[in-house]
Amino acid sequence: MKQNLLDFDPAALTAWFAEQGEKPFRARQVMRWIYKSGESDFDAMSDLAKSLREKLRQLACVQIPSVVREELAGDGTRKWLLDVGTGNAVETVFIPEEGRGTLCVSTQAGCALDCAFCSTGKQGFNRNLSTAEIIGQVWWANHELGKDADGHWPVTNVVLMGMGEPLLNFENTVSALRLMLDDHCYGLSRRRVTVSTSGVVPAMDRLREECPVALAVSLHAPNDKLRNVLVPINQKYPLSELMAACQRYLEKAPRDFVTFEYVMLAGVNDSEQDARELLRLVRDVPCKFNLIPFNPFPQAPYRRSAMPVVMRFRDVLAQAGIVTTIRKVRGDDIAAACGQLAGQVQDRTKRTGQRVIEVIA
Ligand code: SAH
Ligand code: SF4
């Protein structure tokens, strides 16, 4: 079988070239063709010797996951459904904003962590995405949207907030991050690449050592009792450990704060008292908050908090000096908003929200 070059991070690609008797600068040239020029055809890589092009054609390929559907929302948000084989699909969402373009990338087909309010979790876990499937989402979005008049790719920021828990697919996620950051590839700054995690504490420490980028942590509850229900991995890594891990992360992070994501669920975690309890929880962690109005999906056991409730919650945090934003709902007319992403090639819904409702009541 041919080697898909998208599966290599920069060091591994250089090593593979060495195995083929090729110098490191040849690997860099090929990287620049693939990522900077968006080229997938070796024959078009005009500054490579003919013999090298022939060798690459025989041994290697540049294979992007196949896109089975594209949808465009009224607000310009674009969603692609990528077929990742055996009936699985993952989604990639491009969100255009003034002066930047953010791509929301998936790292797993499904997710094992089963957060109570998340449609990806309700699908169960299918499999980890390969490095090629993760970086291929960036390649595809850039390819589809094309460079602007100044020759810049449209994807300027990447958030690993699509389907799956990136830190439970650690190796492939980090390889893809390295490609996003490398100057011969996309050359994005570490501050413009964000990993979002539900709080896999040991992997947060590893990420800090191996490839620190901006960090978002899905908090969603001010105490262990509620978070154990909403984000079940909390039973393994409770809030005290999570807060300590955030502090450790910040020692090496490219930004000097953690972004806490907090989904607003009516009557569940959205009271002023919850906000005040949160303030005590995060007292020692430099942070910003991003409040996410809950995005419903079929059979979801929750409702979105009313806007005045969300604003009151924001005010409590803001008055204590914490920068707090309310996430604009983007792309919800094409089910591309946070937590609505679900592979639809095959219905894998095996779980219902029922159990969770019972625990809360
Ligand atoms: N697994 C990672 C990243 C993917 S989820 C994580 O949990 O952080 C990306 C974000 O969307 C998380 O903050 C998640 O809690 C949030 N989310 C999940 N379901 C949602 C829903 N139905 N409405 C709003 N946000 C949701
Ligand atoms: Fe997985 Fe994140 Fe969804 Fe939780 S919120 S089930 S960790 S994708």
pLDDT, one tens digit per residue, over 124-143 is: 999 999 999 999 999 999 99
Q: What is the mean pLDDT of the chain?
A: 91
Given the CA of residue 340, which atom of ligand 1 is nearest to it?
A: 22
Catalytic residues: 91, 338
Residue-wise pLDDT for 162-212, tens only, equals: 999 999 999 999 999 999 999 999 999 999 999 999 999 999 999 999 999
* CATH code reported for the domain at 3-61: 1.10.150.530
Tell me the Ramachandran region of residue 199: left when phi exceeds 0, alpha when psi lies from -120 to 50, beta otherwise: left
Domains of the chain: which residue ranges? 3-61, 66-360
Residue length of the chain:
361
Give 356's pLDDT tier (boundaries 50, 70, 90).
very low
**pLDDT band for position 87 (cuts 50, 70, 90):** confident
Element (H, E) at 293: strand 287-293
Nearest CA owner, ligand 2 atom 8: 164
Say which CATH architecture domain 66-360 belongs to.
Answer: Alpha-Beta Barrel (3.20)
Measured in Å, residue 106 CA sits from the centre of ligand 2 at 11
293 lines ligand 2 (CB under 6 A): no
Give the residue-averaged pLDDT of 149-174.
97
Element (H, E) at 70: strand 66-72
CA 182 to chain centroid: 18
Ligand positioned closest to the Cα atom of 122: 2
| Cβ–Cβ under 8 Å, residues 310 and 267 | no
Q: Is the CB of 317 under 6 A from ligand 2?
A: no
Alpha carbon distance 246, 228 (integer Å) = 18
pLDDT of residue 283: 97
Please give the distance, rounded to the nearest whole angstrom, from the Cα atom of residue 261 to the centre of ligand 2: 12
Dmax over Cα atoms in the chain, in whole Å? 69
Residue 161 CA to ligand 1 center (angstroms) comes to 7
Which residue's CA is the closest to the ligand 1 atom numbered 4?
161
Confidence check: pLDDT of 80 > 80? yes
* 157-160, strands of its sheet edge to edge: 66-72, 78-83, 89-97, 100-104, 157-160, 193-197, 214-218, 258-264, 287-293, 324-326
**Nearest atom within ligand 1 for CA of residue 163:** 4
Residues with CB under 6 A from ligand 1: 117-118, 161, 165, 196-198, 218, 261, 263, 292, 294-295, 338-339
Tell me the angle at which helices 307-319 and 272-281 cross, rounded to the nearest 10 degrees: 30
Residue having the nearest C-alpha atom to atom 6 of ligand 2 = 121
Ligand nearest to the CA of 166: 1
Q: Ligand 2, residue 196: give the atom nearest the CA.
A: 2
Distance CA 108, CA 130 (A): 9
In angstroms, rounded to a whole number, what is the distance separating the alpha carbons of residues 123 and 106? 14
Is pLDDT of 347 > 50?
no
Q: In angstroms, what is the span from residue 45 Cα to ligand 1's centroid? A: 40
> Which ligand minimizes its atom distance to the CA of 104?
1
Residue 142 to residues 28, 65, 68, 139, Cα–Cα distance (Å) = 20, 14, 17, 5
Main-chain dihedrals φ then ψ at residue 159, nearest 5 degrees: -120, 130
Confidence (pLDDT) at 353: 24
163 CA → ligand 1 middle, Å: 8
Kindly report, residue by residue over 31-79, the tens digit of the pLDDT.
999 999 999 999 999 999 999 999 999 999 999 999 999 999 888 899 9
